[in-house]
Amino acid sequence: FRTDIRDEGDKFVLEADLPGFKKEDIKLDLKDGILTVSAQHSESSEEKDKKGSYIRRERRYGSFARKFDVSGIQEDGITAAYNNGVLELTLPKAQPVVPAARQIEI
């Protein structure tokens, strides 16, 4: 699936196109600094005549998955929203840890 990632200074915004999927079809997993976005969809439709015989029967299945390295991201601050077929993740950048300076007595 198509994915765009924008750098907005203090955060990254990831937008993934997942048209035709329901919110319940999408799964986000975060493990060992890797974010996995997966989506699975199945659909079936059928038409029968008066005798109950099939005139048409269709089945569609689709499964997608992508992995993203999120090292340097504040993992507990990640948020997600899904609207109109677009999954949007906000990935706040981790603040660099600056060691505290101290003076050493002689």
User: Helix or strand or coil: residue 22?
Assistant: coil
Q: How confident is the model at residue 54, as a pLDDT?
A: 66
What pLDDT score was predicted for residue 97? Answer: 73
Residue the block writes with tokens 């948020």: 79
pTM greater than 0.75 (yes/no): no
Contacts of residue 21, Cβ cutoff 8 Å, sequence gap at least 6 = 39, 41, 85
Condensed to tens digits (0 to 9), the pLDDT of residues 3-47 reads 999 999 999 999 999 888 889 999 999 999 999 999 987 777 777
How far apart CA 57 and CA 82 sit, in angstroms, is 30
E runs forming strands in the chain = 3-7, 11-17, 26-31, 34-48, 54-69, 79-83, 86-92
